[in-house]
Structure 1
Amino acid sequence: MATWQLQTAKARFSEVLETAAAEGPQIVTKHGKDYGVIMSYTDYHQWRMAIAPGLVDFLLQPAATIELDVERTKDTGREVEL
């Protein structure tokens, strides 16, 4: 992973994005400390799906791989005067 100072990354943003797409995520530093990461949309999407798949992805999974913890509550509701 390459490291870019914030001011350099701002001035050469297109190059940072192209490098991220070709070589992987790029670290941006501010005052010598890690500040952020720039990554391609493809890398971001893969990372995002790995940590928290969306509803569509969840529903498209085969039923055997879906584990739901479903438990009915004993609550009978409340009485309401009419």
Structure 2
Amino acid sequence: MLTRQDAKNRFSAVVEAALAGRPREVSRRGKPAVVVISAEEYRRLVDAAQSRRGSFADHVMAFPGGVMERAQARPREVLF
């Protein structure tokens, strides 16, 4: 893992490594912050995630709760 300053100083090498298929982790204040990957790898990961994701309607229809009764609430009185 590289520090942010090391990554900044060797940015060209970090980019070359990512393009060669070797992602580089960069830390900030001693904690992992980002990973530099190639645009091709990023696109592959995004496409894979989107292909596994169903539609919102499918998600809602898969709710295991069954039919829910609506509350029988009366509107409150409003004085003008």
TM range (shorter): 0.5 to 0.7
C-alpha separation in 2, matches of 1:46 and 1:24: 15
Cα offset, 1:24, TM superposition: 2.5
Q: Is the 8 A contact 1:24 1:43 kept in 2?
A: no
Q: Corresponding residue for 1:9?
A: 7
Runs ≥4 residues deviating over 6 A: none
Q: Which of 18, 22, 28 lines up with 1:20 in the alignment?
A: 18
Structure with higher Rg: it is 2
Provide the rounded CA distance (Å) in 2 between the counterparts of 1:36 and 1:49.
Answer: 20
Question: What are the ranges of 5 or more consecutive residues in structure 2 without an aligned counterpart?
Answer: 52-56, 59-80
Instruction: Work out the CA distance in 1 between the residues paired with 2:28 and 2:43.
Output: 26
- For residues 31-70 of structure 1, what are the structure 2 equivalents within 5 Å? 31-52=29-50, 69=58
Q: TM (normalized to structure 2)?
A: 0.59
Contact 2:21 2:38 in 1 (8 A): no
Deviation at 1:26, TM superposition (A): 1.1
Matches of 2:10 and 2:46, distance apart in 1: 26
TM value normalised by structure 1 = 0.57
Matched-pair identity in %: 36
**Is there any run of 5+ residues in structure 1 with no aligned partner, and where?**
54-67, 70-82
Distance 1:31 1:5 in 2: 8
